[in-house]
Amino acid sequence: MTIPQGTTVPAVYSPDTALAFIHRQWGRLTGTEGISLAIAHPSTDEALGLMVLLYREEKGVVGIGYWVVPNARRQGFASAAAELLSRWALTEIGISRVEAHVQPDNDASKRTLIAAGFRHEGLLRSYLDYATHRSDALVFSRIQSDL
Ligand SMILES: CC(C)(COP(=O)(O)OP(=O)(O)OC[C@H]1O[C@@H](n2cnc3c(N)ncnc32)[C@H](O)[C@@H]1OP(=O)(O)O)[C@@H](O)C(=O)NCCC(=O)NCCS
């Protein structure tokens, strides 16, 4: 699965679609969807990826999502950002549970969550809906007592 298939990242880049993407991210905060943040390089501040927290239906629960641009991968950025953002949610803004749904073959994402302090809970069968197919989802979570 590519990033545009599972997110609202434009599949075809143009300045207009890129700007519209950024405005959609800002809109998440001003609406009630959640928060969308850039992962920035700690020294250069260059944008390397994205982290979102989106409210689930159940009170106090958010879902976490993320991606990192290919040339910045395997340097610890996603796991550090997921650790930081989930810790902030659980300690500063009254969230009780941060959860993630991951395709079973996405080893990078599974290892990112484990490195960020999440626990694997189980499998939701035929849970994820993509344009061309459905997929099972592994469930991971981090709660306040995991900190
Ligand atoms: C998943 C993703 C965000 C990981 O980003 P990253 O910055 O490379 O991750 P990190 O460098 O923090 O690595 C975290 C762990 O994953 C492992 N990892 C990273 N890429 C991997 C890969 N391709 N295969 C296997 N393990 C991988 C790292 O070795 C590390 O494991 P460790 O802590 O046991 O050493 C990135 O691969 C990506 O953007 N993928 C496409 C989008 C996506 O799948 N998002 C998640 C949807 S649920």
In contact, 30 and 22? CB cutoff 8 Å: no
CA distances (Å), origin 21, targets 16, 33, 90, 137: 9, 15, 27, 26
Ligand 1 binding pocket (C-beta < 6 A) is 3, 66-68, 73-79, 102, 106-109, 111-112, 115
Report which protein residue has its CA nearest ligand 1's atom 1: 109
pLDDT, tens only, 17-56: 999 989 998 888 887 899 999 999 999 999 999 999 999 9
How remote is the CA of residue 141 from the centroid of ligand 1, in Å?
17
pLDDT, tens only, 47-94: 999 999 999 999 999 999 999 999 999 999 999 999 999 999 999 999
Q: What angle do CA 79, 82, 83 make, to 5 degrees?
A: 85
Rounded-to-integer distance, Cα 43 and Cα 62, Å? 29
Boundaries of every domain in the chain: 34-146
Q: Report pTM.
A: 0.94
Residue 51: closest CA among 29, 36, 41, 63? 36
Homologous superfamily of 34-146: Gcn5-related N-acetyltransferase (GNAT) (3.40.630.30)
